[in-house]
Amino acid sequence: MTRIGVLALQGAFIEHEQVLRGLEVEVCQVRLPHQLENLDGLIIPGGESTTIGKLAVGYGLIEPIRELARCGVPVWGTCAGMIILAREVAGYEQPLVGLMDIVVRRNAFGGQVDSFVEDLQVPAFGQDARPFPGVFIRAPLIESVGPGVEILVRLPEGGIVAVRQGNLLATAFHPELTGDSRFHRYFLAMTGGWAESGLTAAGSGER
């Protein structure tokens, strides 16, 4: 059975767990470095990115997560998790894993009261062309991407909100807060261990 870790320091980790368990995936809460062992994938959830980063430093998780990703294990960051994966946060200093060649801007759409849901087109889902409900809560925005980064999703006005770089996936929105499991199935397909996903996780975005 595919075994996915969810970084459980702060934020929406329970919601990711619930989606994964509904897909009959084994889930492991990760709070300490040894809990990263024998994982097929890792999710860094949404929440407060500064808090998650500081706690990750305090528990000695930053370098082990980097090493996990460098070994080819898929890692997915959602909202705050996307910030943690980025190499740079525009105008802000905070602890980062820093492996994705992207620059992000925190709280790009405003505060909590400015949260919104946007129907998103996701070509990477292949023949399943239904719009995906993107839930944006104090969400970041990707300001720029490096040459090895594939753009998976743009907002209608052009803003970049989902990218992939090899075994790394990042979304500015919260797929775990919807009733739609396609992004989780896409990530599981990236692990190569869940053939029933119906999604190939083959690249089909912009470069």
Is 204 domain-assigned? no
Domain span holding position 114: 3-197
- The two three-digit tokens of residue 6, written as one number: 């969810």
Active site residue 71: no
Is 202 domain-assigned? no
Is 207 domain-assigned? no
Across the strands, what pairs with 30? 7
User: Quick check: pTM over 0.95?
Assistant: no
Catalytic pick from 15, 17, 88, 176?
176
Provide the number of structural domains found in the chain.
Answer: 1
Across the strands, what pairs with 162? 153, 171
Is 160 domain-assigned? yes
Instruction: Look at residue 196 in the predicted model and tell me its pLDDT.
Output: 44
pLDDT tens digits for range 83-121? 999 999 999 999 999 999 999 999 998 888 889 999 999
Instruction: Look at residue 8 in the predicted model and tell me its pLDDT.
Output: 97
Is 206 domain-assigned? no
Active site residue 16: no
The label of the residue with tokens 């990711």 reads: 16
Give per-residue burial for 136-152: e unless 16+ CB within 10 Å, then b: bbbbbbbbebeeebbbb
H-run or E-run covering 177: none
Is 37 domain-assigned? yes
Catalytic pick from 79, 88, 118, 184?
79
Is 60 domain-assigned? yes
Active site residue 28: no
Instruction: Look at residue 41 in the predicted model and tell me its pLDDT.
Output: 98
Instruction: Look at residue 205 in the predicted model and tell me its pLDDT.
Output: 65
Across the strands, what pairs with 86? 100
* CATH code, domain carrying 177: 3.40.50.880
Low-confidence ranges of the chain (pLDDT < 50): 195-197
Catalytic pick from 16, 88, 118, 174?
174
Instruction: Look at residue 195 in the predicted model and tell me its pLDDT.
Output: 46
Instruction: Pinpoint the alpha helices (H) of the chain.
Output: 13-22, 49-58, 62-70, 80-85, 182-191
Is 114 domain-assigned? yes
